[in-house]
Amino acid sequence: MEDGITNKDGISFLPNCYNGQNAIVVSTSKGVHTWLNRFPGDTQNVFTWKTGNIRRGDFNGDGITDYTDAEGNIYPEIQNGMPPEPEPVRTYGSNGVVFEVNPY
């Protein structure tokens, strides 16, 4: 798993996250939003998450980057560089631990 760069205030930087553009994830009074910073002061939300502290990884083994939030909600991406599914598909818990299990 690979983190977006998250600072102490919970702002996450996600490279190549939205239509090939870098994005930042910011917690606001109206929810956890994704901004592209196309120009100074750009705060138009292009994607909303359930919670912040977004991390990246390939959680379903398809070779495409997926995302997870602080509560363990997993947002699968359909194609690298494109926005993820708007609703999470599953959770793994809120302890922040993700691991790979290979059945025998």
Sheet containing strand 48-49, strands side by side: 5-6, 12-18, 21-28, 31-35, 48-49
Question: Is 98 part of a structural domain of the chain?
Answer: no
How far, in Å, CA of 83 to CA of 33, rounded? 13
Question: Is 76 part of a structural domain of the chain?
Answer: yes
Question: Is 102 part of a structural domain of the chain?
Answer: no
Q: Which domain holds residue 64?
A: 2-91
Question: Is 101 part of a structural domain of the chain?
Answer: no
Domain count, the chain: 1
Task: Please list the pLDDT of the chain residue by residue as tens digits (104 residues).
Answer: 445 555 556 788 898 888 888 999 998 888 899 999 888 888 899 999 998 888 888 888 888 989 988 888 899 988 888 889 888 987 766 555 555 544 44
Question: Is 99 part of a structural domain of the chain?
Answer: no
Instruction: Quote the pTM value.
Output: 0.76
Question: Is 49 part of a structural domain of the chain?
Answer: yes
Question: Is 77 part of a structural domain of the chain?
Answer: yes
